A and B are shown apart, each in its own frame.
Chain A
Amino acid sequence: MTDAPALSRHIPDRLNGRLSRVLRSWEVLLLAVAVAIFIVNCFASPYFLNAWNLSDATFNFTEKAMIAFAMALLIIAGEIDLSVASIIALASTAMGLALQYGAGTAELVLISLTVGLMCGAFNAVFVTVLGLPSIVVTIGTMSLFRGISYIILGDDAFRGYPASFAWFGQGYIAWVITVEMLFFVVFAVIYGIILHRTNFGRAVYAIGNNPTSALFSGIRVQRVKFILFLLTGVMSGFAALCLTSRLGSTRPSIASGMELEVVTMVVLGGVNILGGSGSIPGVVIAAFVMGLVTFGLGLLNVPGIVMSIFIGLLLIGVIALPRLWAILARRKAT
């Protein structure tokens, strides 16, 4: 096979330099796409290159990206959570309900995160303890969690969140830098470190590549997966906090369809949907790409439905192109 010729005894750490590996990576291709979209947008609309407009545009992806970071780990480990948008609905509803009983901002934060954590634990028990496939479990809880919100709220909405609560989704750190943008950066760094610099992250990759070998190597596979579901749950709770704060109200239809955009972001970021590979920098760039596309199209007054067509085409195109190249290269070679 591709065994090296008998190298006396010394085996080098790496064959290719770090630079050449980085240059050939998915992330660089994606970054090029992002730059291209940015440039096209600059020409397409005179309103694009405006600091405040660009700042507003970040709301297109910050909340989704927070969940996408945790989702990336989960998908790399070979599982998925499709209930994230419904967790947002349930967490937001719980906050609205608590508001009726006079909860303050601190309590609201606590409630949102706790509901997220509990929803994550609920998914985790079915997947890791009962061994059910996560796609089925979370399709079920997707309906379940949002269903509870509809039962509580019906056609109503909760309003009247306290002024201090608005800080999460409407606040600015400095100049045009939003509070959500700060959270986005902080979470990107935290998840990047977890995935790429810790033993836990290494276990995630090992499980995604081969759960049996990982188990046989002494990795506590089910425990790692349990934690990953807790993480997506908590991040969904945090996203619920930001989104509710930004909108200033809770409706049961809040964030509907967001789970697919989160998964799209993760896959666009180069995470293998079958598990085993992917990176947080990839997801960060994918978040910018999706944000730029939606914002650019928005400035051109393209309606939302058409926008989702573009996102879908972008996803399929970016994924299919390298595969197409490979097939064409093989054709040429033979």
Chain B
Amino acid sequence: MDKRSNYAGSAAKQLGVYAVYLAVAMALIVYILAFFAGTSGALINGGAINEERNSITIALAEEPPQLDSTRATDASSFIVIAHTMEGLISYDDNDQLTPGVAERWEIRDNGATFWIREEARWSDGLPVTAHDFEYAWKRVVDPATAGEYAFILYPIKNAEAVNRGDLPKEALGVRAVSDLVLQVDFERPTPYFDKLVAFNTYYPVREDFFVSTNGRYGADADMLLFNGPYVLTEWIHGASMLWEKNPYYWNDEKGFLDEIVIAYITNDVNANLNLFKDGQIVQTSLTAPMLPTAMEQRWQIDRFMDGSLFFLEFNHREGRVTENLNFRKALLLAQDPSELVYKVLKEASYLPAESLFPVWIQGLQGAFRKEYPVPEHRMDLERAREHLERAKLELGINDFPPIVLLTGDSSLSLLAAEYYQELFKKNLGLELRIDAQIFKQRLAKMTSGDFDIVMAGWGPDYFDALTFGDLFSSWNLNNRGRYQSEQMDDLIRIAQSELDPKKRMDAFSSIQDLIYEDVVIVPMYERGISFVVDPRLKGFKRRSVGPQVDYNYAYIERL
């Protein structure tokens, strides 16, 4: 017995020694691997802010599919393009229009003229000319380009016809009178054209360079030419990017940093939070569950409204129960957006939505929503049930079939979907089926009309009420529910071309009322984002129109 225990003891000792060896060896391997992993990345970053090199490190949510400004449609591309390119007009650090490549401009009823500044240069040193804009715009509306944002050029004469293929692209109403003068003819009066040209799709492309890339324009760092404050010098797909100061850029009130390193491409909010905590990136967004951590870390939390509106959009196509007005009214009356925002989503920066037009839309003098208040909404279950009964009579059914609620796959949209599911079951006895899809699939289903209700969102493309106002016109392809009403179309036509601001705003107000009366949508919330920025970085902007994050005016504060 004694011997055996001795034997067991020495065996255990031996095993213990092996375990120690193993632990040491593993630690060594981990260390060595980590060392090599560190050297393999081309862009080694020295923390969020490197004062010596005057550089900052940031993270990007997604990899841009490509960076051709005439074809870009996603937020990540917009962010990169906003730092590397410049349009005729741009926004300053206070969201006001400011001259960009155009020194001055003139907008008339039937057209516009832009005078381009002589000192504007491409990143290879050659001047930016009016021809570059003419070439780019014709490319956007060329059906062969298949630009999804071509519609934003429709105010230009013949743009729609060219885009449909009815006219050759030479017929587009834009012409470079000389190297420095660009002449635009309008299809209809477009008083907000200055706001439009600040948008990405209106940015220039130089013909000779474009031709030389042989169809690969925008696919890589060396397949692009820039005219903005920064140039994209390195682009390792799926991993990182490097923007460097553009030596040829004309404006010394923009682009103060020597380098912006995009060291991380991830849309994992928790990963971003940890990177920020570790001092690896200068800025990150915060979702509701992260706020206690942020408060504990004593960060100075900031927020901004990103301008977008989220809503339940009904399918107005024939054969759907959602086509019935009383049914839609019942749903509208059985919910309360403030309960959704304050008790379910709990996002500090969200605002319960009341109208198609977000609070920030400008009216005649002040805010549109102050000048034209929305019809007051109150949850009213009795009336909701009355409408539901009426809908049953009109549709000639005893029970409603299950309603398909199409939604995104993010945790917030699932949360809202589950809330609505129980809410409409409890209040109206309706069965909702949640169809959660990734963005592309959801878009495909929205386009083909494969839903009853969809949780949709719309972000502004330019600073004008029309960016929301024309959403439910019968010809707008983004009107996924195919809502059609002559009254709406007439109002939108007035809003598009009326020159008297008062009449135009009245039209928007009527649109707002019509949306409520016809229950085209049920507004959910206006989105805002809470975020933190490294306190040493100043001048950083988040925008509702244009790029979501803007480092063009950012600089490092030296102590």
Do these two chains really belong together in a complex?
A: no
